[in-house]
Amino acid sequence: MHTTVRHLLAVSVLLPLAAWAQPAQPEQVSAYDDGGRIGPSTHQCSGHQILVRHLSLQNAVQKYGFQYSGCQDPAHHGEHPSSEGNFGMPSPSVCNWYHSGFLTMDINGKDVVRQDVKEMRLTETGARGGFQVIWSHPDAEVSLRILLLPGQNHVLCLLKWQPRAGATLKNVTVKFRCYPSFFTAARQRQGERHVKTPRTDQQEPTTLELVPGKDPWLLYYDTIFDVAKGEGEGPCAIIAEQTALLGGKVGIGGYAVNTDLMVKPEAGSLRFGLYDFAGSKNADAEAYLQAHGSEDLAQLLALDFRPGLVREVDVAKLKAEAAQLLNDAADDGVALKPKVEAVLKQVEDLAAKGQGGDWQAEGELAGVLRSSEELFWRLKTFAMLNRK
- Mean per-residue pLDDT, 271-291: 98
Q: Are residues 375 and 274 in the same domain?
A: no
Tell me the mean pLDDT in the region 359-387. 82
What distance separates the 2 farthest-apart alpha carbons in the chain?
Answer: 81
pTM for the whole thing? Answer: 0.88
Among residues 265, 286, 302, the one where a domain terminates is 302
Strand duo 49-58 + 30-33: pairing: antiparallel
pLDDT at 5 over 90: no
Q: State which of 302, 328, 347 marks the end of a domain.
A: 302
Instruction: Report the alpha-carbon distance of residue 365 to residue 382 in Å, rounded.
Output: 25
Q: Is residue 12 part of a domain?
A: no
In a domain, 95, yes or no: yes
Does residue 2 form part of some domain?
no
- Asked if residue 15 belongs to a domain, the reply is no
Which range is least confidently modeled, 68-77, 119-128, 264-273, 375-384?
375-384
Residues 6 or more apart whose Cβ sits within 8 Å of residue 291:
none
Task: Tell me which of 131 and 312 has the higher pLDDT.
Answer: 131
Task: Work out the pLDDT band at 26, boundaries 50, 70, 90.
Answer: low
Q: Are residues 192 and 212 in the same domain?
A: yes
Mean pLDDT, rounded, for 181-200 = 96
Residue 187 sits in the same domain as residue 284: yes
Considering only 212-216, 269-273, 310-314, 381-385, which range has the smallest mean pLDDT?
Answer: 381-385
Same domain, 188 and 322: no
Q: What value does the mean pLDDT take over residues 248-258?
A: 97
d(CA 125, CA 61): 16
Burial class, 8, CB count within 10 angstroms (exposed 0-12 / middle 13-18 / buried 19+): exposed
The residue type found at 52 is: V
In this structure, are 279 and 357 located in the same domain? no
| Residue range 22-41: mean pLDDT, rounded | 81
Q: How far apart are CA 55 and CA 66, in angstroms?
A: 5
Q: Are residues 296 and 347 in the same domain?
A: no
| Residue 189 within a domain | yes
Q: How far is CA 84 from CA 99, 103, 113, 186, in A?
A: 9, 11, 12, 14
Query: Quick check: 259 pLDDT over 90?
Result: yes
Check whether 63 has a pLDDT greater than 90: yes
Under the banding of pLDDT at 50, 70 and 90, the label for residue 352 is: confident
**Phi and psi dihedrals of 148, rounded to 5?**
-120, 130
The whole-number pLDDT of residue 388 equals 64
Which pLDDT belongs to residue 196?
98
How confident is the model over 70-102, as pLDDT tens digits? 988 888 888 898 888 899 999 999 999 999 999
- Cα separation, 312 vs 329, in Å, equals 25
Could you say which of 302, 336, 358 is where a domain stops?
A: 302
pLDDT at 296 over 50: yes
In a domain, 145, yes or no: yes
Arithmetic mean of pLDDT over the chain: 89
Residue 322 is predicted with a pLDDT of 76
- Comparing 325 with 308, which gets the higher pLDDT? 308
Q: Give the model's pLDDT for residue 18.
A: 36
Are residues 331 and 291 located together in one domain of the fold?
A: no
Q: Tell me, what's the pLDDT at 251? A: 98
Instruction: Identify the DSSP state of 236.
Output: E
**Predicted local distance difference test score (pLDDT) of residue 115:** 94
294 in the same domain as 148: yes
Q: Is the Cβ–Cβ distance between 97 and 178 less than 8 Å?
A: yes
On whether residue 10 sits in a domain, the answer given is no
Give mean pLDDT, residues 33-44.
85
Count how many domains the chain has: 2
**In a shared domain, residues 292 and 313:** no
The strand pairing partners of 69, in sequence order, are: 52
Range of the domain at 366: 308-386
Out of 98-112, 210-224, 323-337, pick the least confident: 323-337
What mean pLDDT is predicted for residues 111-119?
94
Between CA 134 and CA 112 the distance in angstroms is 10
* Amino acid code (one letter) for 379: L
Q: Are 188 and 242 found together in one domain?
A: yes
Residue 7 lies in a domain: no
For the segment 193-204, the average pLDDT, to the nearest whole number, is 98
- If asked whether residues 264 and 359 sit together in one domain, one would say no
The CATH number assigned to the domain holding 259 equals 2.70.98
The mean pLDDT of 260-283, rounded to a whole number, is: 98
Q: Which of 124-128, 153-157, 341-345 has the lowest mean pLDDT?
A: 341-345
Judge if 232 and 372 occupy the same domain: no
Cis ω for the linkage preceding 205 (within 30 of 0) = yes
What value does the mean pLDDT take over residues 3-26?
A: 42
